[in-house]
Amino acid sequence: MKILFLCQYFPPEPGAPAARTHEHAKEWVRNGHEVTVVCGIPNHPDGEVPLNYRHNFVYEEVLDDIRVLRCWFLVAANAGRVRRSIAFISFMLVSLYWSVVKGGRADVVMATSPQLLCGLAGYGVALVKRALFVFEVRDLWPRQIIDLGVLRNPWLIALLRGVERFLYRKASVIITVAEAARRELVQSGVPPEKIHTITNAIALDVFKPQPRLGAMRYRYGWGERNLVMYIGTHGLSQGLETVLAAARELEDREDLHFVFVGSGAERESLIKTAEKDGLKNVEFIPNQPRPDMPEFYAAADICLVPLKQREVFLTNIPSKMFEIMACARPIILGVEGQGREILEAAGAGVAVPPEDPHALAEAIRALADDPEARRRYGENGRRYVEKASNRAEKARELIDIVQRALS
Protein backbone atom coordinates (compact mmCIF):
# COMPACT_ATOMS: atom_id res chain seq x y z
CA MET A 1 0.00 0.00 0.00
CA LYS A 2 1.23 3.50 -0.86
CA ILE A 3 0.64 5.95 1.98
CA LEU A 4 0.97 9.73 1.72
CA PHE A 5 0.95 11.41 5.15
CA LEU A 6 0.63 15.19 5.69
CA CYS A 7 1.76 16.61 9.02
CA GLN A 8 3.21 20.00 9.83
CA TYR A 9 5.78 18.64 12.30
CA PHE A 10 8.15 15.70 11.89
CA PRO A 11 11.48 14.70 13.48
CA PRO A 12 13.98 16.18 14.20
CA GLU A 13 11.24 18.45 15.57
CA PRO A 14 10.12 17.45 19.08
CA GLY A 15 6.64 16.76 20.35
CA ALA A 16 4.01 14.07 20.42
CA PRO A 17 2.52 14.60 16.92
CA ALA A 18 5.93 14.31 15.25
CA ALA A 19 6.92 11.26 17.31
CA ARG A 20 3.64 9.45 16.73
CA THR A 21 3.76 9.95 12.96
CA HIS A 22 7.43 8.90 12.79
CA GLU A 23 6.96 5.73 14.83
CA HIS A 24 3.85 4.70 12.92
CA ALA A 25 5.52 5.33 9.56
CA LYS A 26 8.58 3.29 10.57
CA GLU A 27 6.36 0.35 11.46
CA TRP A 28 4.38 0.63 8.22
CA VAL A 29 7.61 0.56 6.21
CA ARG A 30 8.79 -2.51 8.17
CA ASN A 31 5.55 -4.20 7.15
CA GLY A 32 6.13 -3.59 3.44
CA HIS A 33 4.20 -0.37 2.80
CA GLU A 34 5.60 2.64 0.93
CA VAL A 35 5.35 5.81 3.01
CA THR A 36 5.89 9.41 1.97
CA VAL A 37 5.61 12.10 4.64
CA VAL A 38 4.98 15.71 3.58
CA CYS A 39 5.93 18.09 6.38
CA GLY A 40 7.34 21.54 7.01
CA ILE A 41 10.99 22.48 7.21
CA PRO A 42 12.30 21.95 10.75
CA ASN A 43 11.49 24.99 12.91
CA HIS A 44 9.28 23.95 15.82
CA PRO A 45 8.97 25.17 18.55
CA ASP A 46 11.24 28.22 18.35
CA GLY A 47 10.72 29.23 14.72
CA GLU A 48 14.43 28.82 13.96
CA VAL A 49 15.16 27.16 10.60
CA PRO A 50 18.53 25.34 10.38
CA LEU A 51 20.95 26.81 7.85
CA ASN A 52 20.80 23.75 5.61
CA TYR A 53 17.04 24.26 5.09
CA ARG A 54 17.10 27.91 3.99
CA HIS A 55 17.86 27.65 0.28
CA ASN A 56 15.19 25.55 -1.47
CA PHE A 57 11.41 25.33 -1.58
CA VAL A 58 11.36 21.58 -0.93
CA TYR A 59 13.89 19.06 0.40
CA GLU A 60 13.58 15.37 -0.36
CA GLU A 61 15.16 13.03 2.20
CA VAL A 62 14.97 9.48 3.48
CA LEU A 63 14.62 8.91 7.23
CA ASP A 64 14.40 5.33 8.50
CA ASP A 65 13.37 4.23 4.98
CA ILE A 66 10.54 6.81 5.00
CA ARG A 67 10.52 9.21 2.06
CA VAL A 68 10.23 12.74 3.49
CA LEU A 69 9.35 15.92 1.60
CA ARG A 70 10.17 18.94 3.77
CA CYS A 71 8.41 22.03 2.42
CA TRP A 72 9.39 25.65 2.91
CA PHE A 73 6.58 27.74 4.39
CA LEU A 74 6.18 30.96 6.36
CA VAL A 75 7.34 29.70 9.73
CA ALA A 76 6.43 31.33 13.01
CA ALA A 77 7.58 30.76 16.56
CA ASN A 78 5.17 29.16 19.02
CA ALA A 79 3.78 32.59 19.91
CA GLY A 80 1.54 35.23 18.35
CA ARG A 81 -1.89 34.39 16.96
CA VAL A 82 -1.57 36.23 13.66
CA ARG A 83 1.85 34.82 12.80
CA ARG A 84 0.82 31.30 13.73
CA SER A 85 -2.35 31.60 11.64
CA ILE A 86 -0.27 32.71 8.65
CA ALA A 87 2.04 29.74 9.23
CA PHE A 88 -0.92 27.32 9.26
CA ILE A 89 -2.36 28.74 6.02
CA SER A 90 1.07 28.76 4.39
CA PHE A 91 1.69 25.12 5.27
CA MET A 92 -1.74 24.12 3.99
CA LEU A 93 -0.97 25.64 0.58
CA VAL A 94 2.59 24.37 0.14
CA SER A 95 1.82 20.87 1.46
CA LEU A 96 -1.09 20.62 -0.96
CA TYR A 97 1.11 21.75 -3.86
CA TRP A 98 4.13 19.54 -3.15
CA SER A 99 1.99 16.52 -2.30
CA VAL A 100 0.36 16.76 -5.72
CA VAL A 101 3.57 17.55 -7.61
CA LYS A 102 6.08 15.26 -5.87
CA GLY A 103 4.04 12.98 -3.61
CA GLY A 104 3.65 10.24 -6.19
CA ARG A 105 0.80 7.76 -6.45
CA ALA A 106 -1.12 7.10 -3.26
CA ASP A 107 -3.72 4.58 -2.17
CA VAL A 108 -4.29 6.45 1.07
CA VAL A 109 -3.82 10.08 2.07
CA MET A 110 -3.65 10.72 5.81
CA ALA A 111 -3.59 14.12 7.46
CA THR A 112 -3.24 14.91 11.14
CA SER A 113 -4.57 17.75 13.27
CA PRO A 114 -4.60 19.61 15.71
CA GLN A 115 -4.70 22.42 13.18
CA LEU A 116 -7.55 21.79 10.76
CA LEU A 117 -5.97 23.35 7.68
CA CYS A 118 -3.58 20.41 7.36
CA GLY A 119 -6.70 18.27 7.10
CA LEU A 120 -8.04 20.49 4.30
CA ALA A 121 -4.80 20.02 2.38
CA GLY A 122 -5.03 16.26 2.91
CA TYR A 123 -8.57 16.14 1.56
CA GLY A 124 -7.55 18.16 -1.50
CA VAL A 125 -4.65 15.81 -2.21
CA ALA A 126 -6.89 12.76 -1.78
CA LEU A 127 -9.32 14.21 -4.32
CA VAL A 128 -6.58 14.81 -6.89
CA LYS A 129 -5.03 11.38 -6.40
CA ARG A 130 -8.38 9.58 -6.04
CA ALA A 131 -7.20 8.09 -2.77
CA LEU A 132 -8.88 7.18 0.50
CA PHE A 133 -8.85 10.14 2.90
CA VAL A 134 -8.02 9.42 6.56
CA PHE A 135 -8.21 12.26 9.08
CA GLU A 136 -6.40 11.86 12.41
CA VAL A 137 -7.89 14.02 15.14
CA ARG A 138 -5.31 14.58 17.87
CA ASP A 139 -7.11 17.48 19.57
CA LEU A 140 -10.63 18.79 19.15
CA TRP A 141 -10.08 21.99 17.18
CA PRO A 142 -11.39 24.65 17.15
CA ARG A 143 -12.95 23.85 20.53
CA GLN A 144 -9.60 23.75 22.34
CA ILE A 145 -8.44 27.19 21.23
CA ILE A 146 -11.91 28.61 21.94
CA ASP A 147 -11.90 27.22 25.50
CA LEU A 148 -8.41 28.61 26.10
CA GLY A 149 -9.54 32.07 24.99
CA VAL A 150 -7.13 32.13 22.06
CA LEU A 151 -9.96 32.51 19.52
CA ARG A 152 -12.86 34.88 20.22
CA ASN A 153 -13.89 36.26 16.83
CA PRO A 154 -17.36 34.82 16.13
CA TRP A 155 -16.83 34.86 12.36
CA LEU A 156 -13.59 32.88 12.61
CA ILE A 157 -15.17 30.49 15.08
CA ALA A 158 -18.06 29.85 12.69
CA LEU A 159 -15.62 29.37 9.79
CA LEU A 160 -13.45 26.86 11.64
CA ARG A 161 -16.46 24.95 12.93
CA GLY A 162 -17.62 24.71 9.33
CA VAL A 163 -14.22 23.39 8.25
CA GLU A 164 -14.33 20.87 11.10
CA ARG A 165 -17.76 19.55 10.07
CA PHE A 166 -16.68 19.43 6.42
CA LEU A 167 -13.61 17.30 7.19
CA TYR A 168 -15.55 14.90 9.40
CA ARG A 169 -18.08 14.50 6.59
CA LYS A 170 -15.51 13.95 3.83
CA ALA A 171 -13.11 11.64 5.66
CA SER A 172 -13.62 7.93 4.95
CA VAL A 173 -11.88 7.10 8.23
CA ILE A 174 -11.45 9.29 11.31
CA ILE A 175 -8.83 8.36 13.90
CA THR A 176 -9.00 9.76 17.42
CA VAL A 177 -6.35 9.31 20.11
CA ALA A 178 -8.82 9.06 23.00
CA GLU A 179 -12.07 7.17 23.42
CA ALA A 180 -13.62 10.24 25.06
CA ALA A 181 -12.95 12.22 21.86
CA ARG A 182 -14.60 9.48 19.83
CA ARG A 183 -17.70 9.64 22.04
CA GLU A 184 -17.86 13.41 21.64
CA LEU A 185 -17.67 13.19 17.85
CA VAL A 186 -20.47 10.60 17.83
CA GLN A 187 -22.60 12.87 20.02
CA SER A 188 -22.00 15.72 17.55
CA GLY A 189 -23.46 13.62 14.73
CA VAL A 190 -20.41 11.98 13.10
CA PRO A 191 -21.30 8.41 12.01
CA PRO A 192 -19.77 6.08 14.61
CA GLU A 193 -18.76 3.45 12.05
CA LYS A 194 -16.15 5.76 10.52
CA ILE A 195 -14.48 6.72 13.84
CA HIS A 196 -11.76 4.56 15.40
CA THR A 197 -9.57 5.18 18.44
CA ILE A 198 -5.83 4.51 18.27
CA THR A 199 -4.44 5.73 21.57
CA ASN A 200 -0.98 7.17 21.94
CA ALA A 201 1.62 4.57 22.72
CA ILE A 202 5.36 4.33 23.12
CA ALA A 203 8.46 2.74 21.63
CA LEU A 204 9.24 0.44 24.55
CA ASP A 205 12.76 -0.30 23.34
CA VAL A 206 13.60 3.44 23.50
CA PHE A 207 11.70 4.58 26.57
CA LYS A 208 12.74 2.12 29.26
CA PRO A 209 13.98 2.14 32.86
CA GLN A 210 17.52 3.44 33.35
CA PRO A 211 19.64 4.21 36.44
CA ARG A 212 18.63 7.36 38.32
CA LEU A 213 22.21 8.49 38.84
CA GLY A 214 23.11 8.68 35.16
CA ALA A 215 24.50 11.07 32.58
CA MET A 216 22.01 13.91 33.07
CA ARG A 217 22.54 14.24 36.82
CA TYR A 218 26.27 14.43 36.18
CA ARG A 219 25.91 16.90 33.29
CA TYR A 220 23.73 19.35 35.20
CA GLY A 221 25.22 18.87 38.64
CA TRP A 222 21.98 17.74 40.27
CA GLY A 223 23.64 15.27 42.59
CA GLU A 224 21.30 13.41 44.97
CA ARG A 225 18.55 16.04 45.10
CA ASN A 226 14.96 14.93 44.49
CA LEU A 227 14.13 16.20 41.02
CA VAL A 228 10.57 17.27 40.21
CA MET A 229 10.57 17.41 36.43
CA TYR A 230 8.31 18.72 33.70
CA ILE A 231 9.26 17.86 30.11
CA GLY A 232 7.30 19.22 27.17
CA THR A 233 5.67 22.28 25.65
CA HIS A 234 5.59 25.44 27.76
CA GLY A 235 2.30 26.71 26.33
CA LEU A 236 -1.07 28.10 27.30
CA SER A 237 -2.64 24.67 27.71
CA GLN A 238 -0.24 23.38 30.37
CA GLY A 239 -0.80 26.03 33.04
CA LEU A 240 2.79 25.79 34.26
CA GLU A 241 2.36 28.85 36.47
CA THR A 242 0.67 26.37 38.84
CA VAL A 243 3.94 24.42 39.06
CA LEU A 244 5.86 27.62 39.84
CA ALA A 245 3.38 28.43 42.60
CA ALA A 246 3.91 24.93 44.06
CA ALA A 247 7.69 25.43 43.87
CA ARG A 248 7.25 28.69 45.77
CA GLU A 249 5.31 26.84 48.48
CA LEU A 250 8.09 24.23 48.74
CA GLU A 251 11.05 26.63 48.96
CA ASP A 252 11.72 25.36 52.47
CA ARG A 253 12.54 21.90 51.07
CA GLU A 254 16.22 22.11 50.18
CA ASP A 255 16.12 18.52 48.91
CA LEU A 256 13.65 19.41 46.13
CA HIS A 257 14.66 20.89 42.76
CA PHE A 258 12.17 21.74 39.98
CA VAL A 259 13.36 21.25 36.39
CA PHE A 260 11.48 22.48 33.32
CA VAL A 261 12.70 21.03 30.01
CA GLY A 262 11.33 22.34 26.72
CA SER A 263 10.16 25.43 24.88
CA GLY A 264 6.93 27.19 23.99
CA ALA A 265 4.94 30.40 23.95
CA GLU A 266 4.94 30.81 27.75
CA ARG A 267 8.56 29.88 28.48
CA GLU A 268 9.97 33.41 28.70
CA SER A 269 7.07 34.54 30.88
CA LEU A 270 7.65 31.61 33.23
CA ILE A 271 11.36 32.38 33.48
CA LYS A 272 10.61 36.04 34.29
CA THR A 273 8.12 35.00 36.98
CA ALA A 274 10.64 32.64 38.59
CA GLU A 275 13.31 35.36 38.54
CA LYS A 276 10.94 38.02 39.91
CA ASP A 277 9.93 35.69 42.75
CA GLY A 278 13.55 34.76 43.45
CA LEU A 279 12.90 31.03 43.12
CA LYS A 280 16.24 29.28 43.67
CA ASN A 281 14.72 25.81 43.46
CA VAL A 282 13.69 26.15 39.80
CA GLU A 283 15.75 25.52 36.66
CA PHE A 284 14.83 25.94 32.99
CA ILE A 285 16.53 23.86 30.31
CA PRO A 286 15.82 24.62 26.64
CA ASN A 287 14.39 22.10 24.24
CA GLN A 288 16.53 18.95 23.97
CA PRO A 289 16.87 16.28 21.25
CA ARG A 290 14.24 13.58 21.54
CA PRO A 291 16.85 10.77 21.86
CA ASP A 292 17.92 12.40 25.16
CA MET A 293 14.43 12.28 26.69
CA PRO A 294 14.73 8.81 28.29
CA GLU A 295 17.84 9.97 30.17
CA PHE A 296 16.04 13.06 31.47
CA TYR A 297 13.16 10.90 32.68
CA ALA A 298 15.67 8.54 34.30
CA ALA A 299 17.09 11.45 36.31
CA ALA A 300 13.65 12.48 37.59
CA ASP A 301 12.22 11.38 40.93
CA ILE A 302 8.77 12.82 40.22
CA CYS A 303 7.34 13.70 36.78
CA LEU A 304 4.59 16.28 36.35
CA VAL A 305 1.80 16.19 33.75
CA PRO A 306 -0.38 19.31 34.14
CA LEU A 307 -3.13 20.87 32.03
CA LYS A 308 -5.46 23.77 32.67
CA GLN A 309 -8.95 23.17 34.02
CA ARG A 310 -10.95 23.21 30.78
CA GLU A 311 -13.80 20.97 29.67
CA VAL A 312 -12.10 20.24 26.34
CA PHE A 313 -9.18 18.58 28.14
CA LEU A 314 -11.48 15.89 29.51
CA THR A 315 -10.93 14.12 26.17
CA ASN A 316 -7.15 14.57 26.23
CA ILE A 317 -4.61 11.89 27.07
CA PRO A 318 -1.20 13.58 27.34
CA SER A 319 1.23 11.38 25.43
CA LYS A 320 4.03 12.12 27.88
CA MET A 321 2.18 9.93 30.38
CA PHE A 322 3.16 6.88 28.36
CA GLU A 323 6.79 7.99 28.05
CA ILE A 324 7.03 8.48 31.81
CA MET A 325 5.39 5.16 32.60
CA ALA A 326 7.65 3.35 30.12
CA CYS A 327 10.64 4.81 31.97
CA ALA A 328 9.20 3.56 35.29
CA ARG A 329 8.89 6.99 36.87
CA PRO A 330 5.99 8.12 39.12
CA ILE A 331 3.54 10.73 37.84
CA ILE A 332 1.71 13.57 39.54
CA LEU A 333 -1.13 14.32 37.14
CA GLY A 334 -3.06 17.59 37.08
CA VAL A 335 -5.55 16.41 34.45
CA GLU A 336 -9.18 15.31 34.67
CA GLY A 337 -11.08 13.00 32.34
CA GLN A 338 -9.62 10.10 30.43
CA GLY A 339 -6.03 10.92 31.35
CA ARG A 340 -6.86 10.50 35.02
CA GLU A 341 -8.76 7.28 34.32
CA ILE A 342 -5.65 5.80 32.69
CA LEU A 343 -3.37 6.90 35.53
CA GLU A 344 -5.65 5.32 38.11
CA ALA A 345 -6.08 2.12 36.08
CA ALA A 346 -2.31 1.83 35.79
CA GLY A 347 -1.65 2.72 39.43
CA ALA A 348 1.20 4.86 38.12
CA GLY A 349 0.97 7.92 40.32
CA VAL A 350 -1.15 10.53 42.04
CA ALA A 351 -3.86 12.76 40.56
CA VAL A 352 -4.49 16.29 41.84
CA PRO A 353 -7.05 18.92 40.76
CA PRO A 354 -5.80 20.99 37.79
CA GLU A 355 -4.55 24.50 38.59
CA ASP A 356 -4.40 23.84 42.35
CA PRO A 357 -0.89 24.83 43.53
CA HIS A 358 -1.42 23.79 47.15
CA ALA A 359 -2.72 20.32 46.24
CA LEU A 360 0.21 19.91 43.85
CA ALA A 361 2.72 21.01 46.49
CA GLU A 362 1.28 18.59 49.05
CA ALA A 363 1.39 15.71 46.56
CA ILE A 364 5.01 16.50 45.73
CA ARG A 365 5.91 16.71 49.42
CA ALA A 366 4.28 13.36 50.19
CA LEU A 367 5.80 11.54 47.22
CA ALA A 368 9.26 13.00 47.81
CA ASP A 369 9.13 11.57 51.35
CA ASP A 370 8.01 8.11 50.19
CA PRO A 371 10.61 6.40 47.97
CA GLU A 372 8.76 3.09 48.22
CA ALA A 373 5.61 4.65 46.72
CA ARG A 374 7.70 6.19 43.92
CA ARG A 375 9.20 2.79 43.12
CA ARG A 376 5.80 1.10 43.18
CA TYR A 377 4.15 3.69 40.93
CA GLY A 378 7.04 3.45 38.48
CA GLU A 379 6.88 -0.35 38.27
CA ASN A 380 3.09 -0.26 37.87
CA GLY A 381 3.36 2.21 35.02
CA ARG A 382 5.92 0.13 33.16
CA ARG A 383 3.76 -2.99 33.47
CA TYR A 384 0.77 -1.06 32.15
CA VAL A 385 2.45 0.24 28.98
CA GLU A 386 3.99 -3.17 28.26
CA LYS A 387 0.46 -4.58 28.10
CA ALA A 388 -1.50 -1.70 26.58
CA SER A 389 0.73 0.83 24.85
CA ASN A 390 3.05 -0.81 22.35
CA ARG A 391 3.42 1.65 19.47
CA ALA A 392 4.24 -1.04 16.89
CA GLU A 393 0.96 -2.79 17.67
CA LYS A 394 -0.96 0.49 17.46
CA ALA A 395 0.59 1.24 14.05
CA ARG A 396 -0.45 -2.17 12.74
CA GLU A 397 -3.96 -1.69 14.15
CA LEU A 398 -4.31 1.61 12.28
CA ILE A 399 -3.23 0.04 8.99
CA ASP A 400 -5.69 -2.81 9.48
CA ILE A 401 -8.49 -0.24 9.81
CA VAL A 402 -7.37 1.54 6.62
CA GLN A 403 -7.09 -1.70 4.65
CA ARG A 404 -10.63 -2.70 5.65
CA ALA A 405 -11.86 0.70 4.45
CA LEU A 406 -10.10 0.18 1.11
CA SER A 407 -11.54 -3.28 0.56
At residue 71, the pLDDT reads 95
Alpha-carbon separation of residue 350 from 127, 223, 251 (angstroms)? 47, 25, 21
Task: Indicate whether 208 belongs to any domain.
Answer: no
Assess whether 379 and 402 both reside in one domain.
no
Query: Mean pLDDT score of the chain, rounded to an integer?
Result: 90
The answer to the question of residue 342 being in a domain is: yes
Are 84 and 193 contained in the same domain?
A: yes
pLDDT score for 77: 65
> Cα 146–150–155 angle (5° rounding)?
65
As a dihedral over the C-alpha atoms of residue 214, residue 288, residue 384, residue 304, rounded to 10 degrees, the angle is 90
210 found inside a domain = no
Is the domain of 21 the same as that of 130? yes
Do 377 and 395 lie in one domain? The reply is: no
- Over pLDDT 90: what percentage of the chain? 67
In a shared domain, residues 260 and 143: no
* pLDDT attached to residue 180: 82
What's the pLDDT at 389? 77
Please give the average per-residue pLDDT across 190-207, as a whole number.
90
Under 8 Å between Cβ of 15 and 121: no
Q: How far apart are CA 243 and CA 235, in angstroms?
A: 13
**Is residue 140 scored above 70 in pLDDT?**
no
Same domain, 137 and 233: no
Domains identified in the chain, total number? 2
Question: Rounded distance, CA 355 to CA 313, Å?
Answer: 13
Residue ranges making up the domain that contains 99: 2-201+390-406
56-65, 265-274, 283-292, 305-314, range with the lowest pLDDT: 305-314
Q: Do 16 and 72 have their domain in common?
A: yes
Q: Report pLDDT for 257.
A: 97
197 within some domain: yes
Residues 6+ apart with CB under 8 A from 285: 220, 259, 260, 261, 262
Does residue 145 carry a pLDDT above 60?
A: no
Q: Say whether both 22 and 142 belong to one domain.
A: yes
CA distance 143 to 128: 30
pLDDT, tens only, 245-263: 999 999 999 999 999 999 8
Note whether 197 and 241 are same-domain residues: no
Instruction: Specify the pLDDT at position 144.
Output: 58
CATH of the domain at 296: 3.40.50.2000
- Residue 264 has a pLDDT of 84
Confidence of residue 142 (pLDDT cuts 50, 70, 90): low
CA angle 199–185–406, rounded 5-degree value: 65
pLDDT on residue 326: 95
Instruction: Say if 206 falls within a structural domain.
Output: no
Co-location of 70 and 178 in the same domain = yes
Residues 183 and 227 in one domain: no
The verdict on 223 and 305 lying in the same domain is yes
At 203-246, the pLDDT tens digits run 888 899 999 988 899 999 999 999 999 999 898 889 999 999 99
Residue 190: predicted pLDDT? 92
Condensed to tens digits (0 to 9), the pLDDT of residues 155-188 reads 777 777 788 889 999 999 999 988 888 888 898 8
Q: Is residue 209 part of a domain?
A: no
